[in-house]
Amino acid sequence: MNAQLRQTVQRGGQTSLRGAIEIVDVVKSYDQGGASVQAVDHCSLSIPAGEICMIVGPSGCGKTTLLNAIAGFHGIDGGAITLDGRTLCGQGRPKAEIGADRIVVFQNGALFPWKTNLDNVAFGPIVQKRLTKAEAYEKARELMAEAGLSGHERAYPGELSSGLQRRVEIVRALMNDPAVLLLDEPYRALDALTKSVMHEALLETYYRTGVTIFFITHDLEEAIFLGHRVVAMTSRPCRPKRIFEIDIPHPRSYDALTSTRFRELAAEISACVDEEAIKSFALGEREG
Amino acid sequence: MSDIAANAPATGRSNSIWARRLIPDLATRRALIAITAALLVWQVGATSGSWLGTPLPIIGAAPAPDAVLTAWTKLLGDPGYWQSWVSSLLRVTLGFIAATAIGAPFGLALSSWSIFRGLAFPVFELLRPIPPLAWVPASIIFWPTQELSIAFVIFLGGFYTIVLNILGGADALDPRLIQSARSMGASRWTIFRRLILPGVLPSLGVGMETAIGVTWEVVVAAEMISGGSSGASASSGGGLGFFIWNSYVGGAYPNIVVGMISIGFAGYFSSALARWAMGRATPWLKRT
Amino acid sequence: MPQAAPSNALTLLDAKALVAAALPFGGLTEATQTALAESFEQAHYASGETIFAAGALSDDLFIVARGAVRLQRKDVALESETIVSRGSAFGWTALAEGAARRNRAIAIGATVLLRLRGAKLVDLAANDPGPGRISCDDVIAAIRAIQQPPPARKTAKTATPWRLQLKLFQAGEWLRSPKPYLMLLGYAALFGFWHLAVEVLRLPRFAEMPGPSDVFREWISDNPIYGVSLHTSVYYHHILISLRRVALAFIFATALGVPTGLLLGWSKTFRDYVFPLFEMLRPIPILAWVPLSIIMLPGSELPVLFLTFLASFFATALNTMLGVKSIDPSLALAAQCLGASRWQVFRHVIAPGALPFIFTGLQISIGVSWFSLVAAEMVSGQFGLGYLINTSYTMVQYPTIVIAMITLGAVGAVTSVAVRLAGSWLMDWRGRHLATSGAR
């Protein structure tokens, strides 16, 4: 296990490690206008519990397909995916069940615009009937305060900036104590300044909870700054091309961005991803 | 707009194997089942008078599908029937063209000149809530011939819709497009001809189906009302609405249903034609 | 409580350096800076101690000599936090007499601050011949401006007050623009033309038409020639009958149309079976149903209601279905991730999400209802405004036609507005979102 990972996990006081994902030889193709397109080609990846695993790759290569398969939004055509040893999908069960142990944070945000922020955050435990309304609201207020979001409980998501919205969404996910957070380019639409604030907030959250994070991004700096490992995917159909260990010590602060090691890693990963990006570009890939 | 139903948790069962072989597409299979079931219910209900002794309420009074079919096959050879088609289609086409010819410039003028808009739009909005059919008597009093009075009412029907759609489209035109054209030295006329006109075409297309629908409504209504009050008048070329009314008055009930279905087809056909024409006029709008 | 200066106090030289470096004191002459440095007191604070609370009356201006201070601002419109460290000056509200603190200041770590009475700074700076005095004045003016009560429309405390305020503001703006006057001019042109054409010039085509004065006179007369005016009960009878029919048909069509539309959008099974039938029946114009409905439905009232209902139903169901389709699918997926069952997704995501489209559909549907109602009343049924128009025509009572037409328009508009208001009231979240995002 990544030495940095072990260190952060121990710091966070996590003793029972949850959220280990095994992607074994997964194959997935889908139908696009009559033609069959292969998105994922015999992809295998092992993500230990508590790791921040960053997935980078060119547009349309199939990363989101992989995330959707883990989340259970669609099925796979071959191979298997397990979580903490339990099979999510595989032989005999092509599609995983969508569940609160793997919660997705979407690219364009998926807070319910017609509910207040507090209602949004408390949504999970209430519909699952794990907590009473009063308990859920109390816990929601606590978590929001922890994340520095108090004062916004009674506002609607539309009244907040995108950055704040993302943070509320992450808190909403964490209310349910998930084993894995699946993030599909959540900060893509944010400006650079807001992004850096988001990164620090995410890391702070991670240090507190130790949740496994599966994070898809195009932004290499984001990937190196946040992740324990960066997995560079090939162009479509995707499979891991090369895995980089990020040996920058945790806890990380933003001056890590200018460190030599960071720059070295950025250059390495960039060269690796650019190769695939050029292939994608030549194929005329559209956004997946 | 994506298909949320496709993502909904699935509950349906699939049909039997032989049905699946015959018609592979699930949606078509189900459609056929629904239509057949509806026809059966209709047939059974309409003939309930004979096999049940007393007719069932409401459905029992309807003309039966087989009677309708027989009537239709007879009418296919009747030139008067086809003449009705022609008359109605002619009225709809002319009415729609008139509504567009006057409505489009009016809408564009409303959008381009704020003084004109301040003067004319309140008057437009004042008159709009009065249903077109309420104008029939006033129209008959005013116009010298019956045909003209009907044409005026038909024109009114489409006019309101088209003006609103064009206005909406013109208002929504991205001002940056116009600015960039101006900065490239385009004259006012060029901007109008090459930017504004093509720019509002899509919104005209969107409203077209509604406008044609409204026009058909008014045409049928006007044909029925004028036919009903002035009696049989071959010179005015009754049209399908008149045909229906006449069949009712004459007691040929199955013909009523034939007329209704004919209008349905004619309406669908004219919408499809308009959509095709719109598609040719706006090739830059991709249809996915 | 701040303690008296201990032995490791700052020297005057240190203080002078701090003053010179702190904006905007740097702009003052050296003499003033020295005078300031001498006037500054030292105050020591322990970690976490509150230096001043938000809303407190301000006396003192501070410069951070050692340590750091957290400035927190939390009010309804804004929430922010800043950290200032050595060399920074804060507490500028001390310059404006009687001003209340906007921030709450908390010491981070053991902190030493230079403290000066705001009024003293104003005195010292006022006599300074250099440019620094001007910047002091600016700061004072700025603080006074900021201390004005925040504009009411920024508060989001309760739903009604801010919206009322917004409406009043918009109404004021409207009255100040040329719009209402052009509008009146337009109306005048319309009625003027009508009056001219019929009553003054007596143009040939307009010969038999009633003019506006005829209509108006008839409308307000106690004893109308044709029996229908504001003072006759039969007028209101017709209005009420039409209204009642529209209301019944509309309510029924909504009650049936919204669930149908929701299901059509949400359930593929339902859509596969029902939508083909729906789309086959929809193109048939409403009036084409008249004879069939007369044949099949008993009585003379039911056909009218049915026709009005039918038009409304199709419009509502179709728009509701489009509303469901317009919902971002990730919302439904997110709800499922959070553990919602199928029914819960429907209740918490689909139904509220489709509301905007549903209300657009309802506005269309009320318009369509009136359209069908008038047509139906003209052909069958007793009483009602459409019936009135028809009979007035056949009985050659022309002014009454116009009265009925105008009444129709007015009543139709009122019902449309009522539906729209109900919609915006129900969708408070959308109103707030649109208002704060600056949309019209």
Evaluate if residue A71 carries a pLDDT over 70.
yes
The burial of A284, by beta-carbon neighbours within 10 Å (0-12 exposed, 13-18 middle, 19 or more buried), is given as exposed
* pLDDT value at C127 more than 70: no
Q: Do A114 and C353 touch (CB under 8 A)?
A: yes
Q: What are phi and psi of A26, to 5 degrees?
A: -80, 135
Does the beta carbon of C278 lie under 8 angstroms from any beta carbon of chain B?
Answer: no
Report the pLDDT value the prediction gives residue A231, as an integer from 0 to 100: 93
Binned at pLDDT 50, 70 and 90, residue C259 comes out as very high
Domain assignment present for residue C158? The answer is no
pLDDT for residue B7: 47
Is residue C334 over pLDDT 90? yes
The pLDDT assigned to A12 comes to: 47
Q: Note down the domain range covering C326.
A: 210-436
Share above pLDDT 70 across residues of chain A, in percent, rounded to a whole number:
92
Range among A231-245, A246-260, B16-30, C162-176 rated most confident: A231-245
Nearest CA in chain C to A159: C433
pTM higher than the cut 0.95: no
Residue B31 lies in a domain: no
Interchain proximity A114–C328, CB inside 8 Å: no
Q: For chain A, which residues make up each domain, given as ranges?
A: 3-101+178-283
Q: C314 with C222, same domain?
A: yes
Taking contacts as CB-CB distances below 8 angstroms, the residues of chain C near B213 are 283, 285
On the question of pLDDT at C311 being above 70, the answer is yes
User: Which of C337, C345, C347, C350 is the best substitution to test chain A (most A C-beta atoms within 10 A)?
Assistant: C337
pLDDT tens, residue by residue, A111-161 = 999 999 999 999 999 999 988 999 999 999 998 988 888 888 889 998 888
CATH of the domain at C294: 1.10.3720.10
Asked if the structure places residue C410 within a domain, the reply is yes
Contact A155 C336 (CB under 8 A): no
By C-alpha distance, the chain C residue nearest B35 is: C277
Q: Which residues of B touch C271 (CB under 8 A)?
A: 5
Whether the pLDDT of residue B236 is over 70: the answer is no
| pLDDT above 60 (res A164) | yes
Per DSSP, the three-state class of C23 is: coil
Cβ of B4 within 8 Å of Cβ of C375? The answer is no
* Position C277 pLDDT exceeds 50: yes
Number of domains in chain C: 2
pLDDT at C6: 45
Nearest by CB to B263, from C276, C284, C342: name it.
Answer: C284
pLDDT of C323 strictly over 50: yes
CA C400/CA C216 separation, integer angstroms = 10
| Total tally of structural domains belonging to chain B | 1
Chains that touch C (3 or more CB pairs under 8 A): A, B
Pairwise pLDDT comparison (B227 vs A93), residue with the higher score:
A93
Which band of pLDDT confidence, cut at 50, 70 and 90, is reported for residue C46? confident
Domain of B250, CATH number, reads 1.10.3720.10
Q: Does the beta-carbon distance from C325 to B130 stay under 8 Å?
A: no
Question: Is the pLDDT at A54 greater than 90, yes or no?
Answer: yes
Is the CB of residue C327 less than 8 Å away from at least one CB of chain B? yes
Share of chain C above pLDDT 90, in %: 16
Instruction: Band the pLDDT of A181: cuts 50, 70, 90.
Output: very high
Question: Residue C121: inside a domain, yes or no?
Answer: yes
Looking at residue B233, what is its pLDDT? 43
How close is the nearest chain A Cα to the Cα of C355, in Å? 10
Residues of chain C with Cβ-Cβ distance to B8 below 8 Å are: 266-268, 332, 342, 345
Average the pLDDT over C77-83 and give the result: 65
Q: Are residues C242 and C364 in the same domain?
A: yes
Closest alpha carbon within chain B to C311: B217
Interface touch C329/B2, C-beta < 8 Å? yes
CB contact under 8 A, B248 and C294: yes
**Averaged pLDDT for residues B127-138:** 88
pLDDT (0 to 100) of residue B234: 42
Inter-chain CB proximity C408 and B140 less than 8 Å: no
**pLDDT score of C333 more than 90:** yes
Comparison of pLDDT for C37 and A108, the residue scoring more: A108
* Same-domain check for residues C133 and C226: no
Q: Per-residue pLDDT for C287 more than 70?
A: yes
Write out the DSSP string of C49-77: -EEE-TTPBP-EEEEEEEEEEEEEEE-SS
H or E element in which residue C105 lies = strand C104-117
B57, B119, B265 member nearest C186 (Cβ): B119
Q: What is the mean pLDDT of residues C403-419?
A: 89
- Chains with 3 or more CB pairs closer than 8 angstroms to A? C
- Contact call for A99 and C339, based on CB within 8 A: yes
CB-based contact C348 A158, cutoff 8 Å: no
Count the alpha carbons within 13 Å of B154 in the hemisphere toward its beta carbon.
29
CB B7 within 8 A of CB A73: yes
Q: What is the pLDDT of residue B230?
A: 45
Task: Quickly state the pLDDT bin for A288 (edges 50, 70, 90).
Answer: very low
Residue C349: predicted pLDDT: 93
Is C418 at the interface with chain B, CB within 8 A? no
Q: Strand, coil or helix: what is C382?
A: coil
User: For residues C139 and A166, which has the higher predicted lDDT (pLDDT)?
Assistant: A166
Residue type, C96: A
Task: Give the distance from residue C156's alpha carbon to the nearest chain B alpha carbon, in angstroms.
Answer: 30
Q: How many Cβ pairs within 8 Å bridge chains B and C?
A: 213
SS (H, E, C) chain B: CCCHHHHCCCCCCCCCHHHHHHCCCHHHHHHHHHHHHHHHHHHHHHCHHHHHCCCCCCHHHCCCHHHHHHHHHHHCCCHHHHHHHHHHHHHHHHHHHHHHHHHHHHHHHHHHCHHHHHHHHHHHHHHCCCCHHHHHHHHHHHCCCHHHHHHHHHHHHHHHHHHHHHHHHHHCCCHHHHHHHHHCCCCHHHHHHHHHHHHHHHHHHHHHHHHHHHHHHHHHHHHHHHHHHHCCCHHHCCHHHHHHHHHHHCCCHHHHHHHHHHHHHHHHHHHHHHHHHHHHHCCCCCCC
Contact C404 B3 (CB under 8 A): no
Structure tokens at A153: 């409980």
| Average pLDDT of the residues in C256-268 | 92
CATH superfamily of A3-101+178-283: P-loop containing nucleotide triphosphate hydrolases (3.40.50.300)
A110–C330: do the CB atoms touch at under 8 Å? yes
DSSP 8-state class, residue C197:
I
Higher pLDDT, B121 or C435: B121
pLDDT at A182 over 90: yes
Q: What is the pLDDT of residue A172?
A: 94
Q: Identify the pLDDT of residue A139.
A: 92
Per residue in C143-173, pLDDT (tens digit) is 666 555 544 444 444 455 666 788 788 888 8
Domain assignment of residue C199, yes or no: no
Domain of residue B225: give its range.
71-281
Residues 98-127 of C with CB under 8 A from B: none
Mutate to test the interface with B, among C182, C262, C304, C419 (most CBs of B within 10 A): C182
Q: How far is A234 from chain C (nearest CA, A)?
A: 26
pLDDT interval class at C4 (50, 70, 90) = very low
Nearest-CA residue of chain A relative to C356?
A: A114
Tens digits of residue pLDDT in C180-228: 888 888 888 888 888 888 877 777 777 778 888 888 888 888 787 777 7
Q: Is the pLDDT of residue C440 over 60?
A: no
Is the Cβ pair A99, C433 closer than 8 Å? Answer: no
Chain B residues with beta carbon closer than 8 angstroms to that of C289:
260
Q: What is the CATH number of the domain that holds C26?
A: 2.60.120.10
Say yes or no for a CB contact (<8 Å) between B141 and C266: no
Q: What is the mean pLDDT of residues C408-430?
A: 83
- Does the pLDDT at position B235 exceed 50? no
- What does the pLDDT read at residue C126? 65
Q: Which position has the higher pLDDT, C120 or B216?
A: B216
Give me the residue from A100, A151, A155 closest to C339, CB to CB: A100
- Which pLDDT does position A251 carry in this prediction? 79
Percent of chain C with pLDDT over 70: 80
Residue ending a domain, choose from C92, C112, C146? C146
pLDDT (0 to 100) of residue B155: 92
Query: Is the CB of B131 less than 8 angstroms away from the CB of C326?
Result: no
Residue pair A19/A194 in contact (Cβ under 8 Å)? The answer is: no
Confidence of residue C3 (pLDDT cuts 50, 70, 90): very low
Specify whether the CB–CB gap between C229 and C402 falls below 8 A. Answer: no
Answer whether residue B19 is part of any domain.
no
Q: Tell whether C217 is covered by a domain.
A: yes
What is the average pLDDT across A186-195? 86
What is the number of other CB atoms lying within 10 angstroms of the CB of residue B184? 8
Give A248-270 pLDDT, tens digit per residue.
887 787 777 888 888 998 999 99
CB contact under 8 A, C330 and A127: no
The complex's ipTM works out to: 0.88
